[in-house]
Amino acid sequence: DADRFEQHVAFFRRHMRPIGLQDVINAARGGPSLPRRALLLTFDDGDRSLIDVVMPTLREHGLPGVAFVIPGLLDSATPFWWDEVEDLVRAGGHPRRFEGRRPGELVSILKGLPTGERVRVIDELRRSSPVSPTPTPQLARRDLVSLEGTGVEIGNHTHSHVSLARSSHREAVDEIVRAHDLLTTALGHPPRAFAYPNGDWDPRAEEVLRGVGY
What is residue 133's predicted lDDT score, i.e. its pLDDT?
Answer: 87
pTM for the full predicted model: 0.93
- Residue 197 exposure: Cα atoms within 13 Å on the Cβ side: 27
Q: Kindly give, in sequence order, each residue whose CB lies less than 8 Å from that of residue 41, ignoring residues fewer than 6 positions away.
A: 12, 18, 58, 63, 64, 65, 66
Instruction: State phi, psi for 97 to the nearest 5 degrees.
Output: -65, -30
What is residue 3's predicted lDDT score, i.e. its pLDDT?
Answer: 96
Estimate to the nearest angstrom the gap between the alpha carbon of 121 and the chain centroid. Answer: 22
Residue-by-residue pLDDT tens, the chain, 214 positions: 999 999 999 999 999 999 999 999 999 999 999 999 999 999 999 999 999 999 999 999 999 999 999 999 999 999 999 999 999 999 999 999 999 999 999 999 999 999 999 999 999 999 999 999 889 999 999 999 999 999 999 999 999 999 999 999 999 999 999 999 999 999 999 999 999 999 999 999 999 999 999 9
The answer to whether the beta carbons of residues 69 and 157 sit under 8 Å apart is yes
For residues 121 and 118, give the distance between their C-alpha atoms in angstroms, rounded to a whole number.
5
The answer to whether the beta carbons of residues 72 and 179 sit under 8 Å apart is yes
